[in-house]
């Protein structure tokens, strides 16, 4: 479907400068634009591209003043980057809304409740007593276990596995390979040196507006719930262990591992490959650098890096020193040699 410039300007609360009837059907980079595409100009270093781009529409700032002729129709807005993000969201939601209906073969167990405008892809499975909301999109080969609950507007991509009793809120996005509700890693050592499995009887609760990246796994609680609170964004390849709680609007980058019963506060920013010990508390608004090892509690607003992690500023001061350790070692050896000569 094509969208005319006038409709786009209304969506973005902007103004059109040029052909109001020209239409586009896909986004593009400004330097790669073609006929029928829409792009944007936010970074000044790309300004020269606006004079030779073949994109049909370009989103620019209200105060943009061209210095040469521009063939594209302009949509003027307050913040081009934000506006283009909103447009991409609109476009993505439009594409997703086109998926409706139940493909075959697929399976819906007796007693499952499904909402309106659902899409269920081929080879997908919905278990007994599941509750699926309105406008939910479940792509092929997804598995929804018995008693699971999926909120309105949630998108579940191909190959996602949601175990029994897991609850997923509204407008969530689960990318391919996500596993929610597998057993937590709980084993009790025995006198004979073996390990006995501890039953994992809880569940996983994902609140509204959470996005979970591909191949991320979140384990069910031993008792109670493993919690991911609203607005949180998880990258690919993250492991969240049993009974963990992640606060609202926290972002976590790829390959991070969170051990059992750790509590992470709201609005935290966590880099890639961070490792958390179990049973610790991370204060709200904390920032943790990539590859940090977090072994103890962090107070609210902490900024740490390193393994074991410590304060950003102290780390940078220390780094200046330990990167020069070979030279310092050589100097110490020279001083010792001279002292030995003096003593002789």
**In the predicted model, is pLDDT for residue 253 greater than 80?**
yes
Residue 95, pLDDT > 80, answer no
Burial class (CB in 10 A: 0-12, 13-18, 19+), 44: exposed
Count CA within 13 A, CB hemisphere, residue 257: 8
* CATH for the stretch 3-97: 3.40.1390.10
Q: What is the pLDDT of residue 91?
A: 83
> Hey, what are 71's tokens?
């063939």
Percent of the chain with pLDDT over 90: 84
The topology (CATH level 3) of 101-315 is: UDP N-Acetylglucosamine Acyltransferase; domain 1 (2.160.10)
Q: What is the pLDDT of residues 58-89, one digit of tens each?
A: 999 999 999 999 999 999 999 999 999 999 88
d(CA 144, CA 124): 8
Cα-to-chain-centroid distance, residue 142: 20
- Angle, helix 5-12 to helix 80-97, in steps of 10 degrees: 110
The contacts of residue 309 (CB under 8 Å, 6+ apart) are: 288, 289, 292, 293, 294, 295
pLDDT of residue 307: 86
Q: Does pLDDT of 326 surpass 90?
A: no
Residue 252 has pLDDT above 90, yes or no: yes
Residue range 118-133, pLDDT digits in tens: 999 999 999 999 999 9
Q: Please compute the mean of the pLDDT values over residues 192-213 and round it to a whole number.
A: 97
CA dihedral sign, ordered 35, 41, 43, 48: positive
Residue 96 has pLDDT above 80, yes or no: no
Position 222 confidence tier, pLDDT thresholds 50, 70, 90: very high
Between 96 and 214, where is the model more confident? 214
CA distance 212 to 246: 13
- What is the DSSP code (8-state) at residue 298? B
With cut-offs at 50, 70 and 90, classify the pLDDT of residue 325: confident
195-201, Cβ contacts within 8 angstroms, sequence gap of 24 or more: 198/222, 200/242
* Interval 308-331 mean pLDDT: 82
Strand partners, 206: 168, 228
Tell me the two tokens of residue 150: 């999926």
**In angstroms, rounded to a whole number, what is the distance separating the alpha carbons of residues 294 and 273?**
11
Exposure letters 297-312 (e unless 16+ CB within 10 A, then b): ebeeebbbbbeebeeb
Whether the predicted pLDDT of 308 surpasses 90: no
Whole-number pLDDT of residue 207: 98
pTM > 0.85: yes or no: no
What Cα–Cα distance (Å) separates residue 121 from each residue in 154, 202, 228, 292? 14, 29, 26, 40
**307 or 252, greater pLDDT:** 252
Q: Quote the CA–CA distance of 114 and 219 in Å, as a whole number.
A: 25
pLDDT at 98 over 80: no
In sequence order, the 6+-apart residues with CB closer than 8 A to the CB of 30 are 39, 40, 41, 46, 49, 50, 53, 55, 58
Domain ranges of the chain: 3-97, 101-315
Q: CA 208, CA 162: separation in Å to the nearest integer?
A: 16
Instruction: Say yes or no to pLDDT of 309 above 90.
Output: no
One-letter-per-residue 3-state SS of 257-297: EECCCCEECCCCEECCCCEECCCCEECCCCEECCCCEECCC
Alpha-carbon gap, residue 158 to 74, rounded angstroms? 38
Q: What average pLDDT does the chain have? A: 94
Tell me which residue has tokens 């699971």. Answer: 148
**Spatial contact of 198 and 162, defined as CB atoms under 8 Å apart:** no
The residue ranking higher by pLDDT, 325 or 299, is 299
- The radius of gyration computed from the CA coordinates of the chain, to the nearest angstrom, equals 27
Share of the chain above pLDDT 70, in %: 100
Catalytic residue positions, numbered: 242
Interstrand relation of 125-126 and 143-144 (parallel, antiparallel or unpaired): parallel
Query: Which secondary structure element, helix H or strand E, spans residue 85, and what is its range?
Result: helix 80-97
Q: What is the pLDDT of residue 225?
A: 98
Q: What is the pLDDT of residue 99?
A: 84
pLDDT of 92 = 81
What pLDDT, on the 0 to 100 scale, is given for residue 243? 98
């Amino acid at each position: 479907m094509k969208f005319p410039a006038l409709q786009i300007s209304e969506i973005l609360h902007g103004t059109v400068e040029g052909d109001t009837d020209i239409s586009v059907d896909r986004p593009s980079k400004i330097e790669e634009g073609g006929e029928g595409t829409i792009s944007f100009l936010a970074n000044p270093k790309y300004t020269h591209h606006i004079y030779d781009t073949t994109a049909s529409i370009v989103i620019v700032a209200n105060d943009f003043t061209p210095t040469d002729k521009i063939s594209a129709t302009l949509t003027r807005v307050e913040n081009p980057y934000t506006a283009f993000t909103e447009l991409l969201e609109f476009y993505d939601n439009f594409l997703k809304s086109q998926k409706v209906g139940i493909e075959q073969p697929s399976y819906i167990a007796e007693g499952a409740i499904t909402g309106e405008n659902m899409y269920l892809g081929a080879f997908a499975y919905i278990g007994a007593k599941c509750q699926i909301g309105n406008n939910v999109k479940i792509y092929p080969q997804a598995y929804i276990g018995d008693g699971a609950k999926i909120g309105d507007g949630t998108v579940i991509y191909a190959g996602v596995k949601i175990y029994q009793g897991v609850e997923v809120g509204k407008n969530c996005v689960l990318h391919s390979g996500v596993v929610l509700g597998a057993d937590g890693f709980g084993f009790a050592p025995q006198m004979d040196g073996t390990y006995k499995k501890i039953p994992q009887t809880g569940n996983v609760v994902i609140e509204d507006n959470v996005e979970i990246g591909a191949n991320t796994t979140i384990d069910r609680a031993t008792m109670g719930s493993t919690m991911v609170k609203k607005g949180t964004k998880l990258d690919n390849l993250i492991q969240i262990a049993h009974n963990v709680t992640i606060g609202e609007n926290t972002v976590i980058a790829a390959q991070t591992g969170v051990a059992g019963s750790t509590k992470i506060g709201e609005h935290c920013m966590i880099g890639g490959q961070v490792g958390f010990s179990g049973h610790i508390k991370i204060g709200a608004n904390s920032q943790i650098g990539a590859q940090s090892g977090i072994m103890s509690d962090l107070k609210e607003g902490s900024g740490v890096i390193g393994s074991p992690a410590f304060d950003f500023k102290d780390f940078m001061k220390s780094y200046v020193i330990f990167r020069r350790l070979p030279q310092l070692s050589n100097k110490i050896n020279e001083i010792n040699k001279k002292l030995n000569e003096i003593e002789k």
